[in-house]
Structure 1
Amino acid sequence: MTLLGLSAAARKRAAALVVALLATVATWNVLLNTLFARSGLASSMQLAYDLILPLTSAGATGGLLLVTVALVVVLAALARTVAPDVDALGGGEAPAETALTYGRAVAVAFAGTLAAGLGLALFVVPGLVVLVHLPLVFVAVATDGVSIRAAVAQAASLARGERARIAAICLAVVTIPLALAVIATLTALVPPVAELALGVVVTTAAAASGVVAFTALADSLGGTTTGTTRNRVAPSSSRQL
């Protein structure tokens, strides 16, 4: 499945979601700058931000949490838009089922990121294992309507023999924005506002490309392992987390 294989309506919806993702990433970055400035971390690291919001540290923290949830929801909606036989707004689903799907996606994103961070910090290898499987788990809960437990089992099955390929996509998605951030931090040639704008655009492009790539990869691996296209499960079979 590629963007070229989508209907005109789906392509328009995907484009609108990418714009929403751009706005969400920009808001997230400004809120993070605000938190750093209000908490004193910016001054301790000798950093100065031109764009900050009139919020307290608590307000910036709360805003970051809300915007992070919105960011995950937009990414899940994008995965549902580019996946076959799925609709971002839950066409053919009960509203409660669609809400549950997005709730699972948020839970997977938060728990998976925390588990990957702890794994990398403490043992390295477990963190890498989580990072390899996390995108496929996220795509599974977002597009297939399965429980988190079933998504983990499905991701483990799909990733078997494909971990190098998955890791390569993960590295591309993560290292490009990270490298840009490091370069921008170490040089004074780029004005702060331009640095922020460039970072937002690159991060948005990497995140959107990663979602499309992993959704297409999961679809191709599902077709390879089962011989059929990946279909949504019945709502009655996916009530558990």
Structure 2
Amino acid sequence: MSPVLPGEYVPAQHVNLKLGPGLLQQYSVNGQPVVVSTRAGDVQHSTNRSRWWIESNSRRYVPAPQELVVGVVVGRSGENWRVDIGSAHTATLDGLAFEGATKRNRPNLKVGSLLFARVSLAHKDMEPELECFDAQTRKAEGFGELKGGFLVHCSLKMSRLLLDPLHFLLPLLGSRFSLESAAGTNGRVWITAKDPRQVIAVSRCIEGVDPDGGGMDEVAVKKFLSTLDV
């Protein structure tokens, strides 16, 4: 992790390189591809170094291709749905962008429905587009409508931490009680559990661990959970 300013070069290299918010691939004078930062912040990358992005204190989500998001359906336009993903513009979701969807067989989404989706197109001059299936298998793979449950809002940094399989919080909570979750890079986390008290506990833990909130570590979370009847 190192701080950068807009316009600085970032040493992002990988066979399957995927760039997230704050990074842009350009070409140098000699025609070689280079990665340049478009915002100030800290350079971050996934464990295998295939995904790179700039972490900043912005609360506004900037969509990037292939990122996972939790959205809320806010309207319908013809055969498409308009989805709020917390960005400057609403995203578009095609009615056929679901596993096995046809013109006669498609999900019956309503205003207020929650979705777990993937950003299929993101460009600064266009509205982002979403899909609810895996790009390679064309299967749902967990994407689609999220029924029931509770939506937690957190910082963009916290949502990315929850997407890291090495982060302690969700495995720790899952070892204590059964729960389901869907974390998006847009600062939204959907959770559901059998007992409402467990849902509240998960929500409080996410808020407590959030770097923009309490910044609790694993020891502090365990101590906090020991005070709850869950």
Normalising to structure 1: TM-score of the pair? 0.28
Normalising to structure 2: TM-score of the pair? 0.29
Q: Which has the higher helix share?
A: 1
Q: Which has the higher strand share?
A: 2
Higher relative contact order (CA 8 A, sep 6+): 1
